Structure 1
Amino acid sequence: MQGLLALSRGIDRLLRIFATMGGWMGALLVLVVCYDVITRYFGVPKPAGLNSTMIQEFEYWLHSGLIVFAIGYAYTRNAHVRIDLLRDNFSNRRKHIIEFIGISVALIPYSVIGFWLSWPFVKQSFISGEISKSQTGLSNLWIVKAGLLVLFALLLLAGISQWIKSLAGMTGNLSAAEEDELFGGGH
């Protein structure tokens, strides 16, 4: 069990790295939006080759990246919707069982199916050289579509990490601090 918990901690570290990248995308998004507003409403010229459509589409890309890279870490920090009204009254063992079952029958299959169904769209976008529908927009749309693959992969990793922790909790192999972290969340 200690080996599995070490794997879970490794996954959590990886997810934290991706979440940090997503956070930097959020900071860059703020700067790009400010740049867009300044150049559009105050008449500041844009550098050669850039236009408002490209900048706005890049804002969507950054926003997507922020969500994609942060979702796995957010799940491991319990920053997702739960029915706490019922859950708070359950014993830790029951919470572990419910989490284990939920991850086994919902999260892991959902992540695998999402990845599998997204792959053809990303592949077709790459092969066809898909570009923006706007004539002055960005090219290489496969990059933003590949975010779906990353999202489902990170969500799967987060599910595996939480699944391991729930299994350890059901068998009494989690410390009190680890249980608090597992159930406490990061709201």
Structure 2
Amino acid sequence: MWFGLALVIVVCYDVLTRYFGVPKPFGLNSTMVQESEYWLHTFLFALLIGYTYTKQGHVRIDLVRDRLPLKAKYAIEMFGCLFFLISYAVVAGIYCYSYALASFYEGEASKSVIGLSHIWLLKSALPILFLLLGLAGVSQLIKSTAGFLGKLPDDKIAETVGGDI
């Protein structure tokens, strides 16, 4: 939420300074302000993707699955979490961690001479994204298993398999 609020403020500030001639304090320049916009957007997305998955905010194509019994929906969710989401999050997280670590060791900075430094901070959002997504997958796997076994409370069903139950 705070990254979203900061993003709105920075974008408004960027528009005011660019089109209305408001001066930029603290030694900032337009490149730094614009780069900070995509940094904030990156962290906003990275920190919310796992939460969004647990709240069924992701895109789901349910042409066939909606017609299946509830137990089959739990089985599909468990299979998808275990064999696709969690395994992908682990592999992608490992590769992204190496990517961010290499950026840290190289002292990577913006391609622009007047841009932001410490690009490794931005690239660190990727392993964080996959860590949070993997944890969300584990959470969904646990809830789906409980639902499959008939031990999931009724108020958690829609949150676990999505759709109108």
- Using the size of structure 1 for normalisation, the TM-score is 0.84
- Post-superposition CA distance 1:37-73 (Å, at most 9, x none): 1011111111131000000000000000110010000
Given the alignment, which residue of 70, 82, 86 partners 1:108? 86
Determine whether 1:66 maps to 2:44.
yes
Secondary structure at the counterpart of residue 114 of structure 2: coil
Q: Following superposition, which runs of at least 4 residues in structure 1 exceed 4 angstroms of deviation?
A: none
Match of 2:117 among 128, 139, 150: 139
Structure 1 residue 182 displacement after superposition:
1.9
Q: SS at the partner of 2:18?
A: helix
Q: Given the alignment of the two structures, is residue 43 of structure 1 paired with residue 21 of structure 2, yes or no?
A: yes
Deviation at 1:181, TM superposition (A): 2.7
Q: Trace 1:14-163 onto structure 2 (pairs within 5 A).
A: 23-163=1-141
Please report how far the alpha carbon of residue 184 of structure 1 lies from its aligned counterpart in structure 2 after TM superposition.
3.9
Q: Deviations over 1:76-95 (max 9, x none)?
A: 01111212222211111000
Q: Report the Cα distance in structure 2 between the residues aligned to 1:24 and 1:168, rounded to whole angstroms.
A: 34
**Structure of greater relative contact order (alpha carbons < 8 Å, 6+ residues apart):** 1
- Quick one: percent identity of the two aligned structures? 53
Inter-partner Cα distance in structure 2 for 1:184 and 1:163: 13
Q: Which runs of 5+ in 2 are unaligned?
A: none
Partners of 2:125 and 2:89 in 1: CA distance: 13
For structure 1, the 5+ residue unaligned runs are 1-22
The number of residue pairs the alignment matches comes to 163
**Given the two structures, how large is their TM-score scaled by the length of structure 2?**
0.95
Amino acid at match of 2:51: Y
Equivalent position of 2:149 in the other structure:
171
Q: State the 1:26 CA deviation.
A: 1.0
Q: Deviations over 1:3-34 (max 9, x none)?
A: xxxxxxxxxxxxxxxxxxxx221111011000
Name the one with the larger helix percent. Answer: 1
Question: What is the DSSP-based 3-state SS (H/G/I as helix, E as strand, rest coil) of the residue aligned with 2:124?
Answer: helix
SS in 1 for 2:113: coil
User: In the alignment, residue 74 of structure 1 is paired with which amino acid?
Assistant: T
Deviation at 1:128, TM superposition (A): 1.1
